[in-house]
Structure 1
Amino acid sequence: MSIVLRQHIEEIVALTDSEFEYIQSLFTHKKLKKHQYLVQEGSYVTHEYFVLNGLLKASYTNETGKEHIIQFAMENWWVTDYQAYITQRQATLNIDCIEASELLSISFENKKLLCAELHKMEYFFRMKASLGYVAMQQRILSLLNNDARLRYEQLMQQYPTLLQRVPKLLIASYLGVSRETLSRFSAS
C-alpha cells in the first residue's frame, strides 16, 4: 500500500527513501465497509484521505432532504470535506463508501508539519489542490453550460469504469438528472 502513495507523490515530486519513510510515518491506514461513513455532516473534520482502493461519494443533503453528489473518489484520489478540514469547522458534507475502501489518512496537524519539514510536499499538496480546483471549476462550467446528455458523455469519457461501479441513481444525482433520463442516455 505504501508503494501506491509513493508512486502517487512521485508523479509530482521525487523522494528519497528516508523522505518517504518520514512521510509514511505521518499517515494512518483506515479500512471502511460498504455504506460506512468516513465524514458525517456536523462532525469535525481533522483528516484528509488518500484512497488506496474502493470508491466513495461526497454529498450534500439540502433542507428538503435531496442529496446532491459533489464528488466521487476512487483509487489515487484525495477526499475530505475541505471546507471543514481547512477551517477546522463542522462538516457540511457526508462522505460514505459506495464500495469497501482502504484509505490513508493524514491529520491537519501532521499535514502542516509535513509541509513545514519537506517543502517539496508543500509543493505536492499545492499542486493537488490546484488540480482539484481546476476539476471543480470544469464541473461547475459543465453544469452551467452543457445539457444533461453532454455531461453524461463527458463523465463516461473521463471515467469509463464509473458506470460499472456506481449505481445509476447516484450517477443521475451527480449529473443533476432523474434516473429515467440517465437510463435513456445509457440505452442510446
Structure 2
Amino acid sequence: MEPATEIFLNSVKAICPGLADDDLKEFASITTLMELDKREIFLQAGKVQKAIGFIANGLVRSSYIDHDGNEITVGFYSEGDYATHYPAFIARKPSSYTIQCIEPTTMVCMTYDDIQLLYKQHLAFERYGRLVAEEILKRQQARIESFIFQSAEERYLDFINQHPTLFNRISLSHLCSFLGIERQSLTRIRQKLAHQ
C-alpha cells in the first residue's frame, strides 16, 4: 500500500476507530493518488470539483478574485486536511474558489459518486463523512466569526497559535490576504508583539 494511502487510512481510523480492516481496504479501493507540483491547480474557480482531496503531504491555498481583481486567500490546508470547497462539492455546483499548491503535494482523492456509493453501503463511512463535514463547517464558522469579533492582531495571534508549523511555509502576502490586513499593518502588529 502507498504511504499516502496509509496516512489517509490512519486518519480515517482516528476519527472512526471501530472500522474493521476489511472496511478500510474497501475505502482505500475507491481512492486515487494525485501528485501535484508547486503552483499546480487542484481546483479552478468556475469548475465543478470532481474529487475531494485528502492531503497526505504538502500545502495548498484556497483563494478567489474580488471585484477589484485582487486575489484573496481564504484558507491554507496542509497534511491531514481536505482540499475542497465542500458546499459546492456536495451540491455539484461550480466552485467560487481556486485551490492551488504552495508546495509539492500528494493527495488521496475520492470522487463524489464513489463517496456516495460507499455511504449507501456502509453506515460507518457515512458517519465519517458527517464528522469531516462538521469539522469543515466549524472551521468556516470560526473564520467568519473571527472577522466579526476579533481585531487584526487577535486574528494573527489565533493563526500563529492554531497553525504554528504553517507560518514559515506561507508568504507574508498570502498571510496578509488571509487575515484581511495590509502588509504594513502586519509589520506593526509583529513589531508591537516583539516588544511586549
Same fold (TM over 0.5): yes
- Per mean C-alpha deviation after superposition, the further-off stretch among 82-91 and 69-78 is 82-91
How much does 1:66 deviate?
1.4
1:10 aligns with: 13
Matches within 5 A, 1:54-93: 54-93=58-97
Whether the 8 Å CA contact 2:5–2:108 is kept in 1: the answer is no
Paired residue for 1:159, among 156, 159, 163? 163
What TM-score, normalized by structure 1, do the two folds share? 0.95
Percent of matched pairs sharing the same residue: 27
Matches within 5 A, 1:35-184: 35-184=39-188
RMSD of aligned Cα (Å): 1.2
Distance 1:103 1:140 in 2: 27
Moved more, 27-36 or 124-133: 124-133
TM-score calculated relative to the size of structure 2: 0.92
1:44-97 alpha-carbon deviations (Å, 9 max, x no partner): 212111000100011111121112212111000012122331121222110000
Aligned residues: 188
Moved over 6 A (4+): none
Any idea what the Cα deviations from partners look like across 1:109-136, whole Å, max 9, x if unmatched? 0000111111111101101111221121
Task: Provide structure 1 residue ranges, at least 5 long, that are not aligned to the other structure.
Answer: none
* Structure 1 Cα separation of the partners of residues 187 and 58 of structure 2: 25
Measured in 2, the distance between the counterparts of 1:94 and 1:131 equals 21
- Structure 2: distance between partners of 1:163 and 1:12: 26
- Of the structure 1 ranges 93-102 and 65-74, higher mean CA displacement relative to structure 2 is found in 65-74
